[in-house]
């Protein structure tokens, strides 16, 4: 059994990790850190875990085999600078701090570089928007078929903004409302360019993100020029994801509820008059964060990639 530590375990991504790992067959949670909640029962903060764990939050790092960093952006670098983590401890960071693969971190999108992840000691987990958009475009990019600008319109639930309150996360503002933010400048564009430009020059990605009036999930609608047929597009995508246990190409239109509470990504393709539209749906807290982090852990430890991640969608 691998000993697991979580830094920032009281937040959304830390809570999702706890919900997955209390049922993972090969791990034991030994270090559940939160400076703000130290000493409290985990189930007093994540109340849905009542009966699942009797563990308490702590504020001191203890020896573990895998350490998940779930604090805010910029905090992972501070934590690692202030705490001595043994060289043999595997690290999965869920912040933006190391997604440029600096300081020995490997970008942790399994469908992009699974073999590199298997031998890594430190993983930078991808961003949620980045995951949905990269999975929509990687088959085209790998085949050298992105010949023009890519246009993305994507919407995310309120949990994508994290647990800290802000004027745009309050229920009274978010409910019955939709808004654009960070148009053309979203921070995930950097990692998207890195992935899509790994074999051919990175395309220009025009990305318009929306805040949705729902709790969790992402839908990204991505379109660009495409000279092939619907059948050729389906064959390309199905072959590319043939060995990816969480990515599925759907012949029908997809929606967010199909993937909420799972580590899956569903893709739907439509070819129209020289354009291809790829619709990509994920759960921003699972395939877009904590689920993918566990998937990376499984790969790093040589386990079944799907261990602990056979989750049920909340479809109605």
Instruction: Tell me the catalytic residues.
Output: 128
Q: How far apart are CA 263 and CA 10, in angstroms?
A: 21
Cβ partners under 8 Å of residue 45, min gap 6: 10, 15, 34, 37, 57
* Residues contacting 285, CB < 8 A, separation 6+: 12, 13, 16, 128, 159, 216, 291
Torsion 196-201-202-204 (CA) sign: negative
| CB 246 within 8 Å of CB 287 | yes
3-state helix, strand, coil in the chain (%, to 5): 30, 25, 45
| Residue 290 Cα distances to 59, 97, 170, angstroms | 21, 16, 23
As a residue count, the chain comes to 316
């Amino acid at each position: 059994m691998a000993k697991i530590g979580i830094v920032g375990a009281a937040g959304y991504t830390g809570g999702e990790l706890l919900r997955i790992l209390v049922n993972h067959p090969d791990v034991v949670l030994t270090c559940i850190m939160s400076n703000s909640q130290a000493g409290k029962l985990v189930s007093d903060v994540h109340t849905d875990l009542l009966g699942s764990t009797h563990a308490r939050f702590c504020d001191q790092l203890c020896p573990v085999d895998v350490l998940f960093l779930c604090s805010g952006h910029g905090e992972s670098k501070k934590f690692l600078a202030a705490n001595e983590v043994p060289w043999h401890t595997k690290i999965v960071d869920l912040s933006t701090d190391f997604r440029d693969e600096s300081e020995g971190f490997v970008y942790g999108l399994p469908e992009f570089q699974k073999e590199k992840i298997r031998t890594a000691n430190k993983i930078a987990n991808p961003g949620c928007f980045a995951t949905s958009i990269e999975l929509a475009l990687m088959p085209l990019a790998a085949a050298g078929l992105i010949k023009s600008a890519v246009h993305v319109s994507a919407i995310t639930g309120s949990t994508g903004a994290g647990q800290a309150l802000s004027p745009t996360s309050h229920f009274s503002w978010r409910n019955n409302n939709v808004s654009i933010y960070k148009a053309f400048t979203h921070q995930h564009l950097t990692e998207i360019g890195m992935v899509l430009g790994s074999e051919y020059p990175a395309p220009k990605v025009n990305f318009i993100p929306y805040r949705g009036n729902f709790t969790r999930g992402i839908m990204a609608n991505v379109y660009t020029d495409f000279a092939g047929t619907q059948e050729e597009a389906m064959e390309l995508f199905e072959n590319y994801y043939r060995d990816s246990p969480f990515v599925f190409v759907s012949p029908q239109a997809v929606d967010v509820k199909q993937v909420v509470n799972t580590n899956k990504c569903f893709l739907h393709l439509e070819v129209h008059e020289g354009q291809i539209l790829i619709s990509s749906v994920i759960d921003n807290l699972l395939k877009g964060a904590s689920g993918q982090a566990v998937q990376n852990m499984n790969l790093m430890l040589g386990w079944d990639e799907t261990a602990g991640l056979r989750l049920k969608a909340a479809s109605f």
